[in-house]
Amino acid sequence: MISYRYFWGKEPLPSTQGANAEDILKQLSDMLLRENDITKALDLLKQQGIKPDEDCQGMQGIHDFLEQVRRLKQKLQESMSPSDPSALEELKRLEKLEHELRRASWGLDLDKIDAQQIQDLMGEQSYKLWNQIKAIPRLLELQGYIEKLGAKYELTPKGMRKIGQRALQDIFTSLTRDALGGHQTRLRGSGMSFLLEDTKSYQFGDPFHLCLGRTLMNSLSRKSRTSYEPEDGRLLGLSPEDFEVYQTEKRTRSSIVLMLDMSGSMARDEKFFAAKKVALALHTLIHTQFPQDKLHLVGFSSYARALKSKDLPCLNWDLDNPYTNMEEGLNLAKSFLNREHAPNKQIIMVSDGEPTAHRENGKVFFQFPPHPKTLAKTLLEFKKCAASGINLNIFMLGQDAHLVQFVQEVSKVNHGRAFYTTPNNLGQYLFVDFLAQKRKWIRA
């Protein structure tokens, strides 16, 4: 475990390497999804730093420097003589540095702070740590995670993949430790290979994802049938015919539309943050483990639109069009799936409320509580999806009485499934269900 030793005065600390680019991007990922802007997320990271843990050495932030300056001021004030001009001068310099650091925590360009003052007042090690904070964007650039276009930073495709992998890893980690009900989730290495719960006898050329339990049982069963005793005296002898591996090679093509509610109510309680993180994770899972599948992304607020996966990290809820036009979202999703020739088609909808808008003569009609016509037109779209052979699952981030009643009506016309969940466990519920559907389709 790595720890920092703080000091008073100019005594240098042992040198420290600090966090690397991957540690920084890991910390930056959730900040970016919340801030919807890479520059704002970078500013926030510089403010807060990175707390050290067993996997990361950590990095001090501007707030840590501010606290150290305050403590240096306090110590100087407790011991200085009112007639000591050198102490008074140092106190003024610390007050000026404190002011500049506070401005830096509000987004001031760090290059405008005199780093020499940090070195003189706080010591050599603090000077090095300060330069680490300043170097964060450049370090991410050198590793190919971000790039500067004009005056703004943007994620590169490599950075996008890393953030998607991080979102997926977070969800799978929560599945392994959370008691959702004994769902089996297997991760293999950094690639998070998806393994079916089904197994088969190993054949030459199969990926060697060994199911140890069934392999040992096969050996015991063969031993009981043949009374086989290994020559070297071992109680258990394995033969190639005993090997049983998880099935990974069979794939059935699917087409999926993930519908994201972008209405104003999704801005509350981190609902949109959770929805974006799930969308990134699902995109990463399909791209890496089910490349034969097709994933479309649809956002819906007062109107519906197709979304691009590269825009997900900085996507925001719709401030200018805050209503919930579920009808138009379903219509767009259905049009995507009707053009696909996959045997399995699915709409996954993430929302937090019943529809409040629909198109009327080309214009958006809004009413809350929902107008009966809005509900009727939306239910008709659900019915059309069912008639087109589209499987539909709804993940609702709420459970008020009107929402429950609407979902019950949807179930009658669509025969889909609804899950009432929260931002904290949205990813767990959605991925358990998605992987269960994949197993169902593969077995069919």
Q: 95: how many CB neighbours lie within 10 A of its CB?
A: 12
- Residue 178 confidence (pLDDT) above 70: no
Could you give the CA distance from residue 339 to residue 294 in angstroms, rounded to a whole number? 11
- Residue 371 confidence (pLDDT) above 90: yes
For the segment 265-315, what is each residue's pLDDT rounded down to a tens digit? 999 999 999 999 999 999 999 988 888 899 999 999 999 999 999 999 999
What pLDDT was estimated at residue 238?
74
Could you give the CA distance from residue 101 to residue 122 in angstroms, rounded to a whole number? 13
Could you give the CA distance from residue 105 to residue 36 in angstroms, rounded to a whole number? 19
Could you give the CA distance from residue 11 to residue 279 in angstroms, rounded to a whole number? 49
Torsion, Cα of 300, 303, 305, 311 (10° steps) = -60
What pLDDT was estimated at residue 1?
32
Question: Could you tell me the end-to-end alpha-carbon distance of the chain, in angstroms, rounded to an integer?
Answer: 50
Q: Which fold has domain 254-443?
A: Rossmann fold (3.40.50)
Q: Which residues pair with 396 in a beta bridge?
A: 351, 420
Mean pLDDT score, 343-366? 94
Name the nearest CA neighbour of 282 among 167, 381, 369.
167
DSSP-derived secondary structure letter, 241? G
The full DSSP string for 126-144 is HHHHHHHHHTHHHHHHHTT
**Looking at this protein, which amino acid is placed at residue 386?**
A
What pLDDT was estimated at residue 84?
80
pTM recorded for the entire structure? 0.78
- Residue 228 confidence (pLDDT) above 60: no
* In the chain, domain spans: 21-155, 199-246, 254-443
For the segment 124-136, what is each residue's pLDDT rounded down to a tens digit? 999 999 999 999 9
- Residue 195 confidence (pLDDT) above 80: no
Could you give the CA distance from residue 342 to residue 328 in angstroms, rounded to a whole number? 23
Could you give the CA distance from residue 303 to residue 365 in angstroms, rounded to a whole number? 10
For the segment 155-168, what is each residue's pLDDT rounded down to a tens digit? 999 999 999 999 99
What pLDDT was estimated at residue 398?
85
Q: Tell me which long-range contacts 28-33 makes (C-beta under 8 A, separation of at least 24).
A: 28/140, 29/162, 29/163, 29/166, 29/167, 30/273, 30/277, 32/155, 32/163, 32/313, 32/314, 33/163, 33/167, 33/273, 33/276, 33/277, 33/280, 33/313
Q: Which residues pair with 393 in a beta bridge?
A: 348, 417
Which of 113-122, 197-206, 211-220, 245-254 is least confident?
245-254
Mean pLDDT score, 388-404? 89
For the segment 35-93, what is each residue's pLDDT rounded down to a tens digit? 999 999 999 999 999 988 777 788 999 999 999 999 999 998 888 777 788 888 999 99
Could you give the CA distance from residue 265 to residue 106 in angstroms, rounded to a whole number? 28
Pair 98, 90: CB distance under 8 Å: no
- Both tokens of 359, joined, read 């198109």
What pLDDT was estimated at residue 444?
56
Mean pLDDT score, 205-218? 76
Mean pLDDT score, 319-339? 96
Q: Please give the helix or strand (H or E) that residue 311 lies within, else none.
A: none
Name the nearest CA neighbour of 380 among 336, 344, 334, 323.
334
Report the residue count for the chain: 444
The full DSSP string for 31-49 is HHHHHS-HHHHHHHHHHH-
- Residue 222 confidence (pLDDT) above 80: no
Which of 40-44, 184-188, 219-223, 397-401 is least confident?
184-188
- Residue 193 confidence (pLDDT) above 70: no
- Return the SS3 of 350: strand
- Residue 347 confidence (pLDDT) above 60: yes
Could you give the CA distance from residue 125 to residue 119 in angstroms, rounded to a whole number? 8
Q: What is the mean pLDDT of the chain?
A: 84
Mean pLDDT score, 416-439? 86
What pLDDT was estimated at residue 130?
93
Scanning 123-211, the segments in alpha helix (DSSP H) are 124-134, 136-142, 157-177
What pLDDT was estimated at residue 236?
61
What pLDDT was estimated at residue 251?
54
- Residue 250 confidence (pLDDT) above 60: no
